[in-house]
């Protein structure tokens, strides 16, 4: 397709081209209905089929059964920062939070407004690593333990699942379905779709069924997970087009070979970039080696002027979205599932060439 670039933006991020093409082909007339899915009622059988199938696809890909529900919410992960403690932190217990980046800290700060929240580990101020298991100090009576599995700003990622007695809650917004996980170890997972699952506008929540019985009755309906579970996420009008596209992405993941294939491809893609970074000290990676993210490769150059030149020259050859987060600067290559190996190869080649010309 003409005029396409390699999109390294952290989110909304690149989508599989075949998904966009299918959505384009169905945009005006979805499955012979004579109307777009954008116009279709969420009460219509065509959309009901989509939302039911999307839940089933997600559980099939993750190997989960009927003891879990998949919910489709709005408000992004930022709303989940509050929804999790609203639903589970009003029992008088406290919750444990592991602070590994800005969004993990924001989740903790929201919980503090609602109930008791403690810090089980903290890698501030530079957030260059994930804490080791022996550094985690969990409360034996915690209502839940919260982690952020991938830290987009700093380029760090959990490569193990911590052992907890309390239900494990994870913000997986930026690495969900990027590799095999034992999802049975999690009580609740949430993820804004706009990085690995689809477009902005829908937030997927995976929740273990037994946790739904622990939610207090006094919550407003739209802040209660049981409302979504009891109404197949259609208590109100859900983000229908975003869910439709999410289903197409899930089908694409299956076609690629599922999570095993995704994990292998993402390992190989990230290795292409980290190998360039490790060759000498021209590029300085932010994350410690054992905590490096497969989704967000973050690094600095010798000067701010060189970073500005890097971004401009990269954009000129179709490598866009590489500017680091405004809070830390530098360069960030977000290489989610839909970023092709070819895109990473082109970026790695550009990095080699840029270093040769600007050393």
State the pLDDT at residue 327.
Answer: 86
Question: N- to C-terminal Cα distance for the chain?
Answer: 35
The Cα–Cα gap between 318 and 118 comes to 45
* Cis previous bond, 12, omega within 30: yes
pLDDT higher than threshold 60 for residue 257: yes
Nearest to residue 38, comparing CAs of 208, 245, 285? 245
State the pLDDT at residue 140.
Answer: 86
pLDDT single digits (tens) 134-178: 999 999 899 999 999 999 999 999 999 999 999 999 999 999 999
State the pLDDT at residue 353.
Answer: 97
pLDDT higher than threshold 70 for residue 1: no
Nearest to residue 10, comparing CAs of 175, 160, 147, 148? 175
Confirm if 30 and 37 have CB atoms less than 8 A apart: yes
The Cα–Cα gap between 345 and 69 comes to 38
Distances (CA, A) of 120 to 90, 138, 148, 202: 19, 5, 13, 30
- For the chain, give the mean pLDDT: 96
pLDDT-derived band at 90 (thresholds 50, 70, 90) equals confident
Confirm if 166 and 97 have CB atoms less than 8 A apart: no
Distances (CA, A) of 224 to 42, 111, 147, 230, 348: 20, 16, 21, 10, 46
Residue 216: partners with Cβ closer than 8 Å, 6 or more residues away: 87, 90
The Cα–Cα gap between 318 and 306 comes to 18
The Cα–Cα gap between 91 and 355 comes to 56
pLDDT higher than threshold 80 for residue 91: no
Confirm if 11 and 200 have CB atoms less than 8 A apart: yes
pLDDT single digits (tens) 58-80: 999 999 999 999 999 999 999 99
* Cross-strand pairs, 205: 71, 190
pLDDT > 90: percent of the chain: 96
Domains of the chain (ranges; CATH) run: 18-255 (3.40.640.10), 259-358 (3.90.1150.10)
The Cα–Cα gap between 63 and 85 comes to 27
Burial class (CB in 10 A: 0-12, 13-18, 19+), 260: exposed
pLDDT single digits (tens) 278-320: 999 999 999 999 999 999 999 999 999 999 999 999 999 999 9
Give the burial string for 178-193 (b: 16+ CB within 10 Å, else e). bbebebeebbbbbbbb
pLDDT higher than threshold 80 for residue 250: yes
Rg of the Cα atoms in the chain:
21
Mean pLDDT in residue range 9-14: 95
Confirm if 100 and 75 have CB atoms less than 8 A apart: no
The Cα–Cα gap between 197 and 184 comes to 20
DSSP H or E stretch at residue 106: helix 102-114
Burial class (CB in 10 A: 0-12, 13-18, 19+), 24: exposed
Distances (CA, A) of 302 to 313, 334, 356: 16, 21, 13
pLDDT-derived band at 92 (thresholds 50, 70, 90) equals confident
pLDDT-derived band at 254 (thresholds 50, 70, 90) equals very high
Burial class (CB in 10 A: 0-12, 13-18, 19+), 31: exposed
pLDDT higher than threshold 80 for residue 2: no
């Amino acid at each position: 397709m003409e005029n396409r670039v390699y999109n390294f933006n952290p989110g909304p991020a690149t989508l599989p081209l075949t998904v966009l093409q299918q959505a384009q082909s169905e945009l005006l007339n979805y499955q012979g209905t004579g109307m777009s899915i954008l116009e279709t009622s969420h009460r219509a059988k065509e959309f009901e089929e989509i939302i039911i199938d999307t839940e089933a696809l997600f559980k099939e890909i993750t190997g989960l059964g009927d003891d879990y529900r998949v919910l489709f919410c709005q408000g992004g992960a930022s709303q989940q920062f509050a929804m999790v403690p609203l639903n589970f932190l009003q029992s008088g217990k406290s919750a444990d939070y592991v602070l590994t980046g800005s969004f993990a800290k924001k989740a903790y700060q929201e919980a503090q407004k609602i109930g008791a929240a403690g810090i089980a580990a903290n890698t501030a101020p530079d957030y260059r690593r994930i804490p080791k298991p022996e550094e985690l100090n969990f409360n034996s009576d915690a209502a839940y333990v919260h982690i952020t599995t991938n830290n987009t700003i700093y380029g760090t990622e959990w490569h193990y699942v911590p052992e907890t007695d309390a239900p494990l809650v994870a913000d997986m917004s930026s690495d969900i379905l990027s590799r095999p996980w034992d999802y049975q170890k999690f009580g609740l997972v949430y993820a804004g779709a706009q990085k690995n699952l689809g477009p902005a506008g829908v937030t997927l929540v995976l929740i273990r069924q037994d946790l739904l019985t622990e939610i207090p009755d006094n919550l407003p309906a739209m802040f209660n997970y049981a409302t979504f579970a009891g109404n197949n996420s259609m208590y109100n009008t859900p983000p229908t087009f975003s869910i439709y596209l999410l289903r197409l992405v899930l089908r694409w993941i299956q076609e690629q070979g599922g999570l095993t294939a995704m994990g292998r491809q993402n390992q190989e893609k990230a290795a292409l970039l980290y190998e360039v970074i490790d060759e000498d000290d021209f590029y300085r990676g932010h994350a410690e080696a054992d905590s490096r993210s497969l989704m967000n490769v973050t690094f600095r150059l010798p000067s701010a002027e060189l970073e500005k030149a890097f971004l401009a020259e990269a954009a000129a050859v179709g490598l866009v979205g590489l500017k680091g987060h405004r809070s830390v600067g530098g360069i960030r290559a977000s290489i989610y599932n839909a970023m092709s190996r070819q895109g990473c190869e082109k970026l790695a080649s550009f990095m080699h060439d840029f270093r040769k010309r600007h050393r």
